[in-house]
Structure 1
Amino acid sequence: MDTGYATVDVDTSLVSAADRIDYWSVHSRMNQGDMRLGFASPQQFAGTMRVQRGAGFQLVDATADAVDYIRTRRQALCDEYGTALLIISHGADIVISHRDNEIGVPCGRLGLLDMGRPLSVSIPAGTRVWAVGVPGEYVPRDTFRDDTPRLLGAERGSTAAVLALSRTISDHSGSLSGHEFAEISARSMELLNLALHTSSRAEQSQSAALAHTARSYIAERSSDPRLTPDSVAVHLGCSRRKLEYSLRSIGASAPARLIADTRAERAYRRLTDTQENASISEIAYASGFDALSTFHRSFARRFGRSPTEVRRRQQRSP
């Protein structure tokens, strides 16, 4: 799967002093959406950042002189940056706010902002910051019900794990594959959701209903080789991540695994049917597999033996 993973390095020392604040501002807006930046010392400003993004996830690792990032109501309404922004400090306290509701984010804690509201982020000089984009499906609807940013501590296992996974992404920047970046980011967001959210019964019911609909649709269409996790999500009118989250909420496998297992089970039923005369390869393709190697691998993983072994055992049975 092509995640579009890419890294971008920004270093103000590579441009003239006169261009540095514009250079920093352009990249900041590319990362976090439209906003106004205020610089304490614009003539002497210096900063570096490394951006990793792919599969709808993004982590910005930045260290710079003092900057205020301000997002107005108009910018929040007109911009499609995303749902939330996670701020993690590795130095002095960072001050974040929604309008007049202001909180401090000490070193090692997590601050969460709603990108759909007016907000500000004030970062002292020399403070290293991770800014993580949070897609909407990981943010419970009532997270910002009192119009106040959220502050999360590392005393909970889920938030400590978010910190650890964010550090992994940052430390291994440049050596991660796109798939690794996407998978680690997704796990981090799921843990953030866990820290934020105790699901209501209604929300649990909605996720379960979506998951059961997905399972039924996969069972019905699994013989079609064009069936993929993305096509299932499109049919159900949800994102792929929402589909994965809903299936996980009922203890089901991820979509790709569920499709492969359903196809393998379809093939198993035919291989153990004493009236079945089709060859193994014919059964594989008829079950929805587009390659024999994929069929044999999926079948062995699901049943612990090869299709040939299953058929021979059935033929030996009285």
Structure 2
Amino acid sequence: MTWRERTDFWSEHVTSYQGRMDYGYPPTDDFRAGIICQRTDIYQLSMFWSDTIKYARTASQVRHDPGEDYRFLLPVAGELVLRQGDQEVRLTPGAGCFLTFAAPFEMLQDASLRALIMSIPAREVNTRLNRSSPLTAGLDLTSGLGRVVGDMLTGLHEERDTLTGGRFDAVSDRLVELLCMLAAGDDRPTAPGHLDEVEAVVRRYIREHAADPDMTGTTMAQALGWSLRQVQLALHHAGTTPRELIGEERLRLVRDRLRAPVYRHMTITELAYASGFSSASALSTAFRRRFGISPREMRHAGPQPM
């Protein structure tokens, strides 16, 4: 196959998956590329790689081949540059972004690029973010919620041969929810549905880390990849605060441990420290205020529910 045949095949191949674009190939004697795709009627996830190339979607192509759906791009090797409107984003492994096909753009990649690209219906993004989004600045997928999202995305690709279409869509639904949480910054409106999602994730995180004595609203927000303001807003919507929720979960943890035979060897002081409290007296005061009896009295009462 000649260079022209290979590049023509690649252009047609990518167009069939992604929509009409222009392709700029360097003047070389060879061109190599590949793509692995999994898709249903709702979502599509592809791993692609190629030699250096420039993709461009023009205003004319947007008019004649409308495509409002989003693409989420995540390099796993190499680098790519995206330009849309007056924004430019340079992506390397660990950074991803949303790209809309409803507006012109340019994408330049080097020959070392290997990246995941997920096609997402526009309604799934616009409804959650309460807006129509052009190119979104690079999202950090190296820690907190971002790392969870990145692991889910790569895992979804790696397990493509073991997932049914229904399971692929179910995982994709949850993945898009988390991506939108990650993309929702302080300068963007927060829809009620998003507040509920934030609250659910925050509650789960606090429950799982209640015993950490260093956990605060700030450290918890950082671990999840959100701002403290977002977390406070979501919990205020639910009638509580980070401090109150952390305290409540620690008290529940102590109560459950007081009733469990496996913790009977621990003193009240040891239970206090092991459950995130600064002292036995701090535990006793908060515990009596919450449950009406002291930790020692609950332990002696046995496993009966309150």
For the criterion TM > 0.5, the same-fold answer is yes
| TM value normalised by structure 1 | 0.55
What count of residue pairs does the alignment treat as equivalent?
193
1:197 Cα deviation after fit: 2.4
Partner of residue 150 from structure 1, selected from 137, 142, 162: 137
1:207 Cα deviation after fit: 11
1:31 Cα deviation after fit: 1.5
Q: Give distance in 2, aligned partners of 1:29 and 1:39.
A: 15
Q: Give ranges in structure 1 of 5+ residues lacking alignment.
A: 1-14, 209-249, 251-318
Match status 1:112 vs 2:83: no
Amino acid of the structure 2 residue aligned with 1:190: E
Bigger shift: 94-103 or 186-195? 94-103
Amino acid of the structure 2 residue aligned with 1:87: L
TM alignment of 1:237-252, pairs within 5 A: none
Conservation of the 8 A alpha-carbon contact between 1:95 and 1:103: yes
Amino acid of the structure 2 residue aligned with 1:29: T
Match status 1:66 vs 2:52: yes
Could you say what the CA RMSD is over the residues aligned between the two structures, in angstroms?
A: 2.8
Amino acid of the structure 2 residue aligned with 1:196: A
Conservation of the 8 A alpha-carbon contact between 2:75 and 2:94: yes
Post-superposition Cα deviations, 1:146-200, rounded to whole Å, max 9, x if no partner, equal x654210025533222211111121122232112211111111111111122674
Q: Give distance in 2, aligned partners of 1:120 and 1:88.
A: 16
Match status 1:175 vs 2:162: yes
Conservation of the 8 A alpha-carbon contact between 1:84 and 1:115: yes
TM alignment of 1:111-150, pairs within 5 A: 111-139=97-125, 140-142=129-131, 144=133, 148-150=135-137
Distance 1:169 1:195, change over 3 A: same
Q: Give distance in 2, aligned partners of 1:204 and 1:165.
A: 25
Amino acid of the structure 2 residue aligned with 1:186: D
Conservation of the 8 A alpha-carbon contact between 2:130 and 2:189: no
Match status 1:197 vs 2:173: no
Post-superposition Cα deviations, 1:61-90, rounded to whole Å, max 9, x if no partner, equal 011111111001121233233421111112
Aligned to 2:89: 103
SS of equivalent to 2:16:
helix
SS of equivalent to 1:150:
coil
Distance 1:93 1:18, change over 3 A: closer
Aligned to 2:151: 164
Distance 1:34 1:109, change over 3 A: same
Aligned to 2:215: none
Conservation of the 8 A alpha-carbon contact between 2:23 and 2:55: yes
SS of equivalent to 2:138:
strand
Conservation of the 8 A alpha-carbon contact between 2:43 and 2:169: yes
Distance 1:159 1:41, change over 3 A: farther
State percent identity of aligned pairs.
Answer: 21
| TM value normalised by structure 2 | 0.56
Match status 1:47 vs 2:15: no
Amino acid of the structure 2 residue aligned with 1:195: L
Amino acid of the structure 1 residue aligned with 2:72: L
Q: Give ranges in structure 2 of 5+ residues lacking alignment.
A: 197-237, 239-306
